[in-house]
Amino acid sequence: MSILEEMSALLQKGRAPMVKDLVNQALEEGVAPQTILEEGLLSGMSIIGEKFKKNEVFVPEVLIAARAMNAGVEILRPHLVSSGVKNKGTVIIGTVRGDLHDIGKNIVKMMLEGKGLEVIDLGVDVAPEKFTAAAKENNADIICLSSLLTTTMFEMKNVVEQAEKDGIREQVKIMVGGAPITQSFCDSIGADCYTPDAASCSDAALELCANKN
């Protein structure tokens, strides 16, 4: 097994310290940072994403795999910046105002990062103005909104309207998701994309960024 295959396999098992060691070892052996990212870390995360979609692994496995990926990415980050890896897109993410659920949002964030997108996480209970200000400031491609409550899902409409008010609606795509959200709700509030889970959200986000750039 090559060092990158081993890295991918360990990442899937959530072995963060071993993933970190292998990233350091690969760098010492002269493997390009982008190759380590794509063939070692992202490939492992994408296998986990697919398994999650098919209910072959569950939330805890995804969280520990994502933690291992983040550990590897932290080592790689300075090398990626200095070797000029192109950012595939910028995403602002958060749970809408009044809603404190963040487990799903955190998984979505990790999957987005796993696709090579830069993700700015505003946390939970985020007001519409905060989403749009962050999108403006960071020249974001996408705003990702998560809601788990039927009482907070309508905040998503407020974000769409705020983006219109702030004059950035043409520049930024708005993606919505969370247990109570449906395609028809997405259409009714004028958002751009609904996806039911983290893996499909990251696939769709990458596609939206690729079409834009």
Could you give the count of Cα atoms lying within 13 Å of 136 in the half-sphere of its Cβ? 14
Size of the site for ligand B1M (CB under 6 A): 28
Q: What are phi and psi of 152, to 5 degrees?
A: -110, -10
Question: How many whole angstroms separate alpha carbon 192 and alpha carbon 6?
Answer: 38
Nearby residues of 7 by Cβ (< 8 Å), 6 or more positions away? 19, 22, 23, 26, 36, 40, 41, 44, 72
Considering only residues 19, 76, 102, 116, which one is a binding residue for ligand B1M as defined by CB under 6 A? 102
Restricted to residues 51-80, the positions that interact with ligand B1M (CB under 6 A) are 59
Q: How far is the CB of 143 from ligand B1M (least distance, A)?
A: 8
- Options 68-76, 80-88, 157-165, 190-198: segment touching ligand B1M (CB under 6 A): 190-198
Considering only residues 16, 66, 99, 156, which one is a binding residue for ligand B1M as defined by CB under 6 A? 99
CB contact at 8 A, 93 and 112 = yes
Q: How far is the CB of 213 from ligand B1M (least distance, A)?
A: 19
94 binds ligand B1M (CB under 6 A): no
Restricted to residues 140-179, the positions that interact with ligand B1M (CB under 6 A) are 144-146, 148-151, 175-179
CB contact at 8 A, 109 and 160 = no
Question: How many whole angstroms separate alpha carbon 13 and alpha carbon 70?
Answer: 14
CB contact at 8 A, 201 and 175 = yes
48 binds ligand B1M (CB under 6 A): no
- Options 29-37, 41-49, 70-78, 195-203: segment touching ligand B1M (CB under 6 A): 195-203
Interacting residue ranges for ligand B1M, rule: CB under 6 A = 59, 98-105, 107-108, 144-146, 148-151, 175-180, 195, 197-198, 201
